[in-house]
């Protein structure tokens, strides 16, 4: 009996060891595949073949829907080709809300740039990540300005730099750069968005509306463009129009929390209490640590929800 038990024990131990070895081998193979995929993406981006990079990233995402590099490159390449499955993600969206993932992505983009510091496509990739992943507009603008130093007619860099000037309240520079971008490419939502924000800052709401309306018709329009239009309508008391535009923003990017927050306010002003409660709960769920998330939680408490 003891010998039989010993054989069973040894058999089980061998099975566990084999299972562990198999698991380790599988993990190693997956890691090797990921390394190969990152290398292929890096090579395509280095050459400026954003279309093929997007296809490669989409293939990787199908195999691993949570692959952060694939998701990020798909977004960035979608921006560069104006063919998006979904808009560029923000810090409120997966995977960028995870600080560790953010750090790994930034490390990857910086490693690429270290290998080829003057490559404008790597600079673009870094700039996009700083803006969308880190929300570090200053560092992002530095990357785009480096691109413009060698490619002064790069419309994407011009659009981002225009936004940076606007954020720094350098309004004349924002207008100059954005108008130059539109002369090169009249289908650039970022440039119209920049001009709309400048117009709002200067108090010209009619002109701002014109620019925001143009932005949402562009092929690269995203949730932020609809959010800006809806927010302008809300500020003017045009609540039904605000609701329509903000719902479009939510439809384009469900995890982009600012439209949900503004929708809650619009619903409250329209007397649609249950809809207001729903939007507040969404904000709390997807952005609990933001100022808006904390205000939404407080509103829910005040409404007894």
Which tens digits make up the pLDDT trace of 225-279? Answer: 999 999 999 999 999 999 999 999 998 888 888 999 999 999 999 999 999 999 9
Query: Higher-confidence residue: 102 or 291?
Result: 291
Contact 147, 123 (CB under 8 A): yes
Query: Higher-confidence residue: 12 or 285?
Result: 285
Lowest-pLDDT range of 40-54, 82-96, 148-162: 82-96
pLDDT at position 259 is 94
Contact 259, 226 (CB under 8 A): yes
pTM for the whole structure: 0.79
pLDDT at position 2 is 47
pLDDT at position 256 is 83
Nearest to 83 by CA among 46, 63, 48, 55: 55
Q: Sign of the CA dihedral 168, 170, 173, 175?
A: positive
Each residue of 163-216: pLDDT tens digit? 999 988 999 999 999 999 999 999 999 999 999 999 999 999 999 999 999 999
Could you give the 3-state DSSP secondary structure of residue 288? coil
Helix (H) / strand (E) element for 270: namely none
Distance from chain centroid for Cα 26: 32
Contact 150, 73 (CB under 8 A): no
pLDDT at position 24 is 54
Going along the chain from its start, the domains and CATH numbers come out as 38-151 (1.25.40), 171-221 (1.25.40.10), 224-305 (1.25.40.10)
pLDDT at position 105 is 87
Each residue of 7-60: pLDDT tens digit? 555 555 555 556 665 555 555 556 677 889 999 999 999 999 999 999 999 899
CA geometry: angle 88, 193, 195, nearest 5 deg? 155
Mean pLDDT of 98-112: 85
pLDDT at position 17 is 59
């Amino acid at each position: 009996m003891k010998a039989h038990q010993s054989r069973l024990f040894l058999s089980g131990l061998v099975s566990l060891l084999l299972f562990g070895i198999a698991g380790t081998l599988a993990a190693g193979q997956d890691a090797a595949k990921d390394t190969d995929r990152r290398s292929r993406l890096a090579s395509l981006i280095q050459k400026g073949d954003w279309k093929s990079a997007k296809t490669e990233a989409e293939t990787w995402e199908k195999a691993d829907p949570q692959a952060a590099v694939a998701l990020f490159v798909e977004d960035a390449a979608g921006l560069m080709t104006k063919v998006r499955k979904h808009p560029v993600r923000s810090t409120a969206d997966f995977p960028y809300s995870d600080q560790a993932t953010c750090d790994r992505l930034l490390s990857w983009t910086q490693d690429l740039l270290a290998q080829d510091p003057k490559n404008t496509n790597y600079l673009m990739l870094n700039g996009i990540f700083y803006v969308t992943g880190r929300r570090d507009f200053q560092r992002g603008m530095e990357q785009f300005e480096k691109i413009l130093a060698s490619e002064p007619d790069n419309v994407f860099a011009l659009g981002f730099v225009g936004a940076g000037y606007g954020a720094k309240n350098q309004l004349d520079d924002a207008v100059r750069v954005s108008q130059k971008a539109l002369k090169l490419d009249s289908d650039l939502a970022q440039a119209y968005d920049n001009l709309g924000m400048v117009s709002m800052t200067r108090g010209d709401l009619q002109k701002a509306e014109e620019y925001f309306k143009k932005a949402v018709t562009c092929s690269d329009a995203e949730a932020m463009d609809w959010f800006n239009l809806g927010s302008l309508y809300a500020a003017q008391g045009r609540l039904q129009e605000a609701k329509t535009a903000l719902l479009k923003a939510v439809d384009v990017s469900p995890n982009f929390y600012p439209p949900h927050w503004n929708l809650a306010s619009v619903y409250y002003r329209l007397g649609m209490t249950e809809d207001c409660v729903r939007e507040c709960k969404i904000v709390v769920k997807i952005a609990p640590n933001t100022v808006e998330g904390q205000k939404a939680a407080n509103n829910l408490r005040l409404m007894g929800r």
